[in-house]
Amino acid sequence: MQQSSVAIGLVLLFGSAGAVSQQHTSCTGPQIGNWKLQSYATTDLETGQTTNLFGKHPTGYLSYSSDCRMSAIIVRDGRKAPAAAVPTDSEKIDLYSGVIAYAGTYAITGDKVSHYIDVSWNQAWTGTTQVRQFRIDGASLYIRTMPAKNPLTGRQTSAVLIWTKVQ
């Protein structure tokens, strides 16, 4: 009888622990929703020069959900479609160099948002944490990347991205 009580206790204990570990994190705040990219300017930290690596009118979306998941995609302005359904090697390079995309989870601490990358266009980012400064002003979201080596240029840069809430 005592063994069955111990067994029941263990089942309840481990069952409860499993339930606790499976609880979903919840995120709230004005960041929840979808944001459309308005501008993306990158500053070279060595020269101070600011450029629009993705053109004057890049396209993109950033989404934050209440289950603390996020996704982002940015596409260069004027990106050309391949001549056929299967791109040539040079077309693939051009297409790849004109997109940034990743998804994962996020957490906000003060004026910083941390993106914990689960999947990425650049496998070097998968499994990393990308920290950004952010601020929301009405329907605008301003994000500044922390100084880091730019994955497209290899130079130390910081970028400012301005997003508008999709209504």
127, pLDDT greater than 80:
yes
Q: Are 54 and 72 in contact (CB under 8 A)?
A: no
Q: Hey, which CATH number is domain 26-165, 3.40.50.620, 1.10.260.30, 3.30.70.2190, 2.40.128.490?
A: 2.40.128.490
At residue 152, the pLDDT reads 79
CA dihedral 102, 156, 148, 44 (to 10 degrees): -70
Domain ranges for the chain, please list them: 26-165
Lowest mean pLDDT among 1-10, 77-86, 123-132: 1-10
Q: Is 139 helix (H, G, I), strand (E, B) or coil?
A: coil
Contact by Cβ (8 Å): 67, 105: no
What would the pLDDT profile of 60-115 be if each residue is shown by its tens digit? 999 999 999 999 999 999 999 999 999 999 999 999 999 999 999 999 999 999 99
